[in-house]
């Protein structure tokens, strides 16, 4: 069984937000965005926008073989980049991929955003949306494993600190310099390359969280886990993923 670990980064569709929430009020898209963010903060104590307003701007994928060794990590559609091309490439690959998809919080965010993007751009994904699709069935790990959903006992608890806590718990760098809350700011500043790199770094670290969970679940014994993690450790030293050495743990994550 092969595995594809993926992560997305997104921007907010400010024009759609303005059309739906503030139609006829004479607000610019930027004013609508600021007002809605303030309203979310006031009502919920968080300015995180609902998935329906997110548009994918970066998707990174890592591939691991049936030995669980990470073979590659790449950002999709870097050549002749457009947001639509990015989403189309994801769904083309996902439809053809016969293994298991690995995410962190993908059931509540990444997949809903990508599904709505397929609706937005008119993209067919019949295997994913089939009535018998295991990718959309919460309690099957055959097609999709959402590590957050699994480690939170399918929502029975909230993992305070999120993925950053879990990564640091197992000796990984965790979030360094940029996190999801800064992606909109980086996007508007034209810093898309840095967003792509950040997305790749999330994929690499999600991979190591995945193999640790596989050890915990008994899907890997200690020897197989050690082999997979050591054979994949060079990705933690890759400057195309993590940037300069000061952005990493000094030991390069060798304690995973």
Per the domain annotation, does 255 fall within a domain?
Answer: no
For residue 201, give its domain range. 3-247
Per the domain annotation, does 68 fall within a domain?
Answer: yes
pLDDT of residue 255: 52
CATH number of the domain bearing residue 95 = 3.30.420.10
Count of structural domains, the chain: 1
Per the domain annotation, does 253 fall within a domain?
Answer: no
Per the domain annotation, does 118 fall within a domain?
Answer: yes
3-state secondary structure of 62: strand
pLDDT of residue 131: 86
Per the domain annotation, does 256 fall within a domain?
Answer: no
pLDDT of residue 252: 39
pLDDT of residue 243: 65
Per the domain annotation, does 170 fall within a domain?
Answer: yes
Provide the 8-state DSSP code for 255: T
Here the tokens at position 232 are 């994949």
Three state DSSP letters for 205-251: HHHHHHHHHHHHHCCCCHHHHHHHHHHHHHHHHCHHHHCCHHHCCCC
Per the domain annotation, does 119 fall within a domain?
Answer: yes
3-state secondary structure of 8: strand
For each of the chain's 256 residues, which pLDDT tens digit applies?
A: 899 999 999 999 999 999 999 999 999 999 999 999 999 999 999 999 999 999 999 999 999 999 999 999 999 999 999 999 999 999 999 999 999 999 999 999 999 999 999 999 999 999 999 988 888 888 888 999 999 999 999 999 999 999 999 999 999 999 887 888 899 999 999 999 999 999 999 999 999 999 999 999 999 999 999 999 999 999 999 876 776 554 544 333 445 5
Per the domain annotation, does 236 fall within a domain?
Answer: yes
Strands (E), 15-158: 54-64, 70-75, 100-103, 144-146
């Amino acid at each position: 069984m092969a595995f594809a670990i993926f992560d997305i980064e997104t921007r907010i569709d400010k024009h759609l937000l303005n059309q739906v929430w503030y139609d006829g009020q004479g607000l610019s898209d930027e004013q609508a965005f600021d007002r809605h963010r303030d309203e979310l903060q006031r009502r919920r104590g968080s300015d995180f926008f609902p998935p329906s307003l997110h548009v994918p701007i970066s998707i990174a994928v890592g591939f691991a073989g049936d030995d669980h060794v990470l073979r590659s990590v790449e950002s999709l559609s870097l050549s002749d980049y457009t947001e639509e091309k990015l989403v189309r490439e994801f769904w083309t690959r996902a439809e053809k991929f016969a293994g298991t998809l690995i995410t962190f919080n993908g059931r509540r965010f990444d997949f809903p955003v990508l599904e709505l993007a397929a609706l937005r751009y008119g993209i067919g994904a019949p295997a994913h949306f089939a009535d018998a699709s295991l990718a959309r069935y919460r309690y099957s790990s055959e097609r999709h494993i959402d590590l957050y959903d699994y480690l939170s006992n399918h929502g029975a608890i909230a993992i305070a600190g999120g993925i950053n806590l879990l990564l640091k718990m197992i000796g990984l760098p965790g979030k360094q310099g940029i996190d999801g809350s800064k992606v909109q700011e980086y996007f508007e500043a034209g810093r898309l390359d840095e967003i792509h790199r950040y997305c790749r770094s999330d994929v690499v670290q999600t991979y190591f969280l995945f193999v640790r969970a596989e050890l915990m679940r008994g899907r890997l014994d200690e020897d197989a886990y050690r082999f997979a993690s050591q054979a994949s450790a060079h990705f933690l030293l890759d400057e195309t993923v993590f940037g300069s050495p000061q952005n990493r743990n000094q030991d390069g994550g060798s304690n995973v």
